[in-house]
Structure 1
Amino acid sequence: MSKLSKLTELKGVGPKLAEQLHKLHIHTLADLFFHLPFRYEDRSRITPIGALQPMSPAVFQGEVRGANILFGKRRSLLVKLQDHSGTVSLRFYHFNAAQKNQMSVGTTLRCYGEPRRGASGLEIYHPEYSVVRDDDPPELEAKLTPVYPATDGISQQRLRLLHEQATELLAQQAVDLPDLLPADWLQQWRLPTLSQALLFLHQPPSGTDLNRLMLGQHPAQKRLILEELLAHQLSLHKLRAQVQADQAPAVISKHALRNKLLAALPFKPTNAQQRVTAEITADLENPYPMLRLVQGDVGSGKTLVAALAACDLLEAGYQVALMAPTEILAEQHLQNLTGWFEPLGVQVGWLAGKIKGKARIQAQEAIADGSAQLVIGTHALFQDDVHFSRLGLVIIDEQHRFGVHQRLALREKGAHLNIAPHQLIMTATPIPRTLAMSAYADLDTSIIDELPPGRSPITTVAISDQRRPEVIERVNSACAEGAQAYWVCTLIEESETLQCQAAENTAAELREVLPHLRIGLVHGRMKPKEKADVMASFKAHELDLLVATTVIEVGVDVPNASLMIIENPERLGLAQLHQLRGRVGRGSARSHCVLLYKNPLSFTSKQRIQVLRDSQDGFYIAEQDLQIRGPGEMLGTRQTGLQMLRVADLMRDAELLPQVQTMAEQLWYQLPHAVEPLIQRWLGDAERFASV
């Protein structure tokens, strides 16, 4: 018999219901199988009333001992139900006369609901119920009852009926749903087949440990979790293979330009910088594109590592592009790299969204004819009208702000020469091991785990904004002793305008209270030149205090700044707070960060602030951030699929990742025909790679 695959082959599924199911991302019978319950109800046994527990839904049965209409703030029907073990109250706010009449004393009811503590002991609001007649008692369920993610217009009952039909077809092997994992793997790891796992999860037999199911620890769940994580891992293998199938410049350099740059610097690279540079050098000698992620805490010297990598490509006659997510960060790179490279005879180009008209045309021409050898810019470098003459290396800073597809778009910039540029990706947001093994499996990773000598540790304190006058006095005394300070105004609403307004108001307030201090202001709505001028004044110590929005999060280096005040730190993620704090402690003076919070703080905010007070280790902070916030927020735009995992949970299932990596390697090389079907089954439309 031919295998079924269409939803409309199920009874009762016409075009209208099919359209409603599409809202739940259910387009085929296979999608229906993978639309799994998010919890289960145990309606397979009757719990004595005396054994009912608050917040634990259960089936219970008893005799009506009283039914009264109460008139309080809202009219309600209160029914007392009793069995041999105790009494419980049922409360109905929506009822009619027929229901009231049904509840006559002596009637036996079977109910299902969730007990809560009320004024008269345990109460159940609006339980499901049926009248029990001695001659025809209702049957108990033989299996646990699944509860599915639903949408408007589709009831749980309708979803359950559809799944019952579908699982019957699956049990009869009438559905096209191949098992894509090798049989010997299932034996080795004691896992069920795909059909067995799905049949079990849609209809767990009574007596199944509900707690184990809720914790995702049942072998049937493990089977699907492994397969879903494997599909994501394979999608990244595929991405890497696509990129590395391209030809890239194989650069074997004598490092003349690099040596000139190092000789001109007033400091020596750290051991960690030298180690990472050697790893990059080895990559650049290969005839396929480097894909390397460099992680380094704030201030660890990633920019120098990127500059040393650029030297070898520039020396070989290739262009290098450095891209940053914000104009202020791109401008900081422009300033640093122009200072390092122009004395060595390298022409530095600049392209950002705000460059318009004639200046833009000139910048694009310099990039297209190759006279701009090192090009620095923002998202503007992605645009179709930007053409490179001979692009050999792309450096992307703070990659979590860019999607994978944007990074891949830069591959096309070398297509006319039949070469793809090498890719060096940098981040000051340390990536927890769990995310590195899952979301970043397409990249080789290097870690700069050493700060340059002479950095001072930062003391972090949390103070309520009710003590704001004390904090202002602290700023005053620090500046009087010759130090400089930042005052950071974080997001008030999801609005740049309001954020800038808050910074302007704070600057005005501080100028009034501290008229003798030189106070500057930087925010996102200022023109690039205005921002650059204020930053230059602050760096030259022509300003004592800089009031700013989070635009100073990355890229600003003022060694004399040793005090930072962060208002409303509870509004920011840990990684962002850690990066902001990294703007101080860049010189030898003792440095302090004051988190000026608003009461009352939520439990999560207290957790965050405590982590920041306890540690300056970016990797520890990132791990804690992942646990508190989850992977979705931390991944930004990078891998949309991982934020929509259907069965797996990156935090809960982290210990499976080494096994998944091994499985992905084996499957990729030994069973390549299973790779694409697995990716399609689990990722479908979420697999959006620019090159496909």
Structure 2
Amino acid sequence: MAMDPQLDLTRLKGVGPKLKEQLQRLNIESLAELLFHLPFRYEDRSRIQMIGSLQHQQPAVIQGEVRSADVLFGKRRSMLVKLADHSGVISLRFYHFNAKQKNQFRKGALVRCYGEARRGASGLELYHPEYQLLDDASEELPEARLTPVYPATEGISQQRLRLLMEQALEFLRDDSVPLNDLLPPQWLAEWHLPTLKQALLFLHQPPADVQLEQLLNGSHTAQRRLILEELLAHQLSMHRLRSKVQQDGAPVMTPAGTLKQQLVAALPFTPTNAQQRVTGEILNDLSKPVPTLRLVQGDVGSGKTLVAAMAACQALESGFQVALMAPTEILAEQHFINMTRWFEPLGIKTGWLGGKTRGKARNESLQAIASGDAQLVIGTHALFQDEVQFQQLGLVIIDEQHRFGVHQRLSLKEKGNLNGQSPHQLIMTATPIPRTLAMSAYADLDTSIIDELPPGRSPIQTVAVSDNRREEVIYRVASACQGGAQAYWVCTLIEESEALQCQAAENTAAELTEQLPNLRIGLVHGRLKAQEKAAIMAQFKAHELDLLVATTVIEVGVDVPNASLMVIENPERLGLAQLHQLRGRVGRGSVASHCVLLYKTPLSMTGKQRLQVMRDSQDGFYIAEQDLMIRGPGEVLGTRQTGLQTLRVADLQRDGELLPAVREMATHLWNNHPSVVDPLIDRWLGEAERFAGV
């Protein structure tokens, strides 16, 4: 944040090296950054409430006379103070106290305190309230305004933060902090918004007569002023990213299209209209001299792999290499099998590079990629590694982009070997991204949607069953398999540990083998070697197995049309998008299919809501919107990678409707006020943006 270097935090009373270091943990390194550290809620301490009128979980200021103060010795030592006014009595309970405090609460002393009333052993109690002793009952309440509560870190109390903020606001009032209003004045008038200075002063010290409701739901004009500016900064940072990429230019690819015709002619089916439309949009991009940046969204089973293959034809026929990258070894392997099956007969050589490719095989792969022998290269994150060099990389296709991080994909540019030009980029996802998220997290991309499923898919009936009916579910699996169907049994674990997941799957497989001796049961988990996994999947596909017990490794890309039943254990532990992905492994043939969500009781409210969404709908976009409402954007996209966690005042669920306007405003600033672009991005994204430009 550009500002006078003298306005260092040490200008504030009480800020020494230790506190400065603690503030750094909150990403506060200057006075201006302190001013942008906004309250996340407010407390109304401007009115004293009658003790008799307090409700459970209600925060309030109360005042009364001490009736008694006793130290109790139960499971934990505590001090219980009885406080009374003319309307009733309440207990204050302290688990941490000393002799001095015990003496302060002498009988008859006048105390004012603030806390949240909760039901306790002696009726309503206030646990560890903030309190002060009064000399006189008529002592004035603090100035009538709401008390801000700030995001804090260990070692910095609310009290300390409030005192620092008071000082910072003094600097702001007398204009020592040069905070420029970076938005055009006519916008402020149009949107009825305050200046930046007015907005900050208001949000740190709102008067008590403000509509608290407005502040809580983010609709106050002071908040809107900052929300708008923050969303603009994010959009502009995406603009900047896109224009950096597009400055480089890209190879123009306009081949005859024979390779694509041969590929389609060899398929046992005809591509859907949606697949053809989206392919057309991509091929149009590839024929331009600027790098394609396109996001292709398609619900489970809509055939994104074929779209990727048809797009690859244009680059391959123009003499360029194509890299196809997937986030997991199993999904990348699946792509490799498909692509090899489609392309080898057409004389195109495919190459493979996974994280587990070692030794001689790895050197051979690297050699084939560098010499251009491998024309279509499929792999995992391993393709990002330094020693991977392409002979001429013209198109990069990334599957499930949100697992990689918005900026990581740009590092592939160096590998292109295109004399300063950038390869084209195509990003595919089967996790439908709600429109609001797509407009912010992927604002640098054009979007295409494959909105049609191939014919012959059967709808999937979804039921939720509690785990005390497990025997019943096992019986159902047995009868389905004996009737010629095949089934998946998916084990999920809340621990991220792969070892524990594999163990759970092994135990389940052993238990089912014992209970269902007539069925042929296979097991797939993340710790098996690639060949073992492939062999078991092949057996399952060939119907040499009836039941496949698996961890979530089968989430994507596995296609066994005869499998028509899936049981998912502990579905409450997975995101809805992931459940939708898993469920999409059945219903790929013409038989009616079922998915059983075998949940652990008791389910939380959220858990119930989420499983209900899965039962109600098979539309990935609807499910993604619901997931966003229930869990928030960070989890839907895997926050760490998206940069979305840096939103400080804006909230994509609440403020999503502003995004269309914000996009236009960002373009306007970019074209007409270029001097404010960097300061705006810097103010809101600061360091995060600089690190992101990897």
**Structure 1 equivalent of residue 32 of structure 2:** 30
Distance 2:688 2:4 in 1: 29
**1:41 CA displacement:** 2.4
**Structure 2 equivalent of residue 556 of structure 1:** 558
**Structure 1 equivalent of residue 68 of structure 2:** 67
For residue 462 of structure 1, the aligned residue among 461, 464, 469 is 464
Distance 1:336 1:70 in 2: 73
**1:569 CA displacement:** 1.2
Same amino acid, percent of matched pairs: 72
**Structure 1 equivalent of residue 161 of structure 2:** 159
Pairing 1:649–2:651 present: yes
**Structure 1 equivalent of residue 492 of structure 2:** 490
> Does the CA-based 8 Å contact 1:3-1:174 persist in structure 2?
no
**Structure 2 equivalent of residue 77 of structure 1:** 80
For residue 680 of structure 1, the aligned residue among 676, 679, 682 is 682
> Does the CA-based 8 Å contact 1:492-1:498 persist in structure 2?
no
Distance 2:105 2:251 in 1: 83
Distance 1:595 1:629, change over 3 A: same
**Structure 2 equivalent of residue 579 of structure 1:** 581
Gaps of 5+ in 1: none
Deviations 1:376-415 (A, max 9, x none): 1111111111111111101111111101222111111114
Distance 1:103 1:247, change over 3 A: closer
Distance 1:132 1:466, change over 3 A: closer
Distance 2:56 2:692 in 1: 51
> Does the CA-based 8 Å contact 1:237-1:442 persist in structure 2?
yes
Deviations 1:65-87 (A, max 9, x none): x225264624533323113x444
Deviations 1:78-106 (A, max 9, x none): 323113x4444444455566655655555
**1:143 CA displacement:** 2.6
Distance 2:347 2:99 in 1: 92
Point out the more displaced range, 5-14 or 450-459: 5-14
Distance 1:644 1:186 in 2: 24
**Structure 2 equivalent of residue 130 of structure 1:** 132
**Structure 1 equivalent of residue 230 of structure 2:** 228
Deviations 1:261-286 (A, max 9, x none): 11111111111111111111111111
Instruction: Provide the secondary structure at the position in 2 that maps to 1:325.
Output: coil
Code of the residue aligned with 1:431 in structure 2: it is I
Deviations 1:586-615 (A, max 9, x none): 010111111122222222222221111111
Pairing 1:345–2:347 present: yes
Deviations 1:561-605 (A, max 9, x none): 111111111221111111011011001011111112222222222
**1:439 CA displacement:** 0.7
For residue 547 of structure 1, the aligned residue among 543, 546, 549 is 549
**Structure 1 equivalent of residue 477 of structure 2:** 475
Distance 1:92 1:598, change over 3 A: closer
> Does the CA-based 8 Å contact 1:405-1:689 persist in structure 2?
no
Code of the residue aligned with 2:40 in structure 1: it is F
**1:14 CA displacement:** 2.5
Distance 1:499 1:439, change over 3 A: same
**Structure 2 equivalent of residue 595 of structure 1:** 597
**Structure 1 equivalent of residue 399 of structure 2:** 397
**1:177 CA displacement:** 1.6
Deviations 1:281-326 (A, max 9, x none): 1111110110111111111010111111011111111111111111
For residue 329 of structure 1, the aligned residue among 303, 328, 331 is 331
For residue 149 of structure 1, the aligned residue among 148, 151, 164 is 151
Deviations 1:337-363 (A, max 9, x none): 111111111111111122222221111
> Does the CA-based 8 Å contact 1:324-1:398 persist in structure 2?
yes
Distance 1:387 1:560 in 2: 41
Point out the more displaced range, 123-132 or 668-677: 123-132
Distance 1:13 1:321 in 2: 53
**1:118 CA displacement:** 4.5
Distance 1:476 1:647 in 2: 53
Distance 1:382 1:525 in 2: 23
Pairing 1:309–2:315 present: no
> Does the CA-based 8 Å contact 1:465-1:597 persist in structure 2?
yes
Distance 1:254 1:95, change over 3 A: closer
Instruction: Provide the secondary structure at the position in 2 that maps to 1:115.
Output: strand
Code of the residue aligned with 2:432 in structure 1: it is P
> Does the CA-based 8 Å contact 1:458-1:590 persist in structure 2?
yes
**Structure 2 equivalent of residue 411 of structure 1:** 413
Instruction: Provide the secondary structure at the position in 1 that maps to 2:518.
Output: coil
For residue 257 of structure 1, the aligned residue among 242, 247, 259 is 259
Deviations 1:195-227 (A, max 9, x none): 111111111123222232122221111111111
Instruction: Provide the secondary structure at the position in 2 that maps to 1:491.
Output: coil
Instruction: Provide the secondary structure at the position in 2 that maps to 1:76.
Output: strand
Point out the more displaced range, 448-457 or 14-23: 14-23
Distance 2:147 2:369 in 1: 64
**Structure 1 equivalent of residue 637 of structure 2:** 635
Instruction: Provide the secondary structure at the position in 2 that maps to 1:563.
Output: strand
**Structure 1 equivalent of residue 365 of structure 2:** 363
**1:638 CA displacement:** 6.7
Instruction: Provide the secondary structure at the position in 2 that maps to 1:333.
Output: helix
Instruction: Provide the secondary structure at the position in 1 that maps to 2:114.
Output: strand
Distance 2:465 2:313 in 1: 46
**Structure 2 equivalent of residue 293 of structure 1:** 295
Instruction: Provide the secondary structure at the position in 1 that maps to 2:132.
Output: strand
**Structure 1 equivalent of residue 614 of structure 2:** 612
Instruction: Provide the secondary structure at the position in 2 that maps to 1:604.
Output: helix
Deviations 1:399-451 (A, max 9, x none): 11101222111111114522211111111110011111111111111111110
- Normalized against structure 1, the TM-score is what? 0.95
Instruction: Provide the secondary structure at the position in 1 that maps to 2:548.
Output: strand
> Does the CA-based 8 Å contact 2:72-2:80 persist in structure 1?
no
**1:624 CA displacement:** 1.0
Code of the residue aligned with 1:534 in structure 2: it is I
- Normalized against structure 2, the TM-score is what? 0.95
Distance 1:332 1:96, change over 3 A: closer
Distance 1:665 1:517, change over 3 A: same
Distance 1:75 1:638 in 2: 41
Distance 2:105 2:517 in 1: 77
Point out the more displaced range, 332-341 or 123-132: 123-132
**1:186 CA displacement:** 0.7
> Does the CA-based 8 Å contact 1:400-1:638 persist in structure 2?
no
Distance 2:10 2:623 in 1: 50
Code of the residue aligned with 1:14 in structure 2: it is G
**Structure 2 equivalent of residue 207 of structure 1:** 209
Point out the more displaced range, 109-118 or 157-166: 109-118
> Does the CA-based 8 Å contact 1:82-1:88 persist in structure 2?
no
**1:327 CA displacement:** 1.3
Deviations 1:35-84 (A, max 9, x none): 111222223333344444433322233344x225264624533323113x
Distance 1:688 1:588, change over 3 A: farther
Distance 1:354 1:63 in 2: 72
> Does the CA-based 8 Å contact 1:77-1:93 persist in structure 2?
no
Distance 1:127 1:90 in 2: 7
Code of the residue aligned with 1:171 in structure 2: it is R
> Does the CA-based 8 Å contact 2:403-2:641 persist in structure 1?
no
Distance 1:2 1:600, change over 3 A: closer
Code of the residue aligned with 2:314 in structure 1: it is D
**1:138 CA displacement:** 4.4
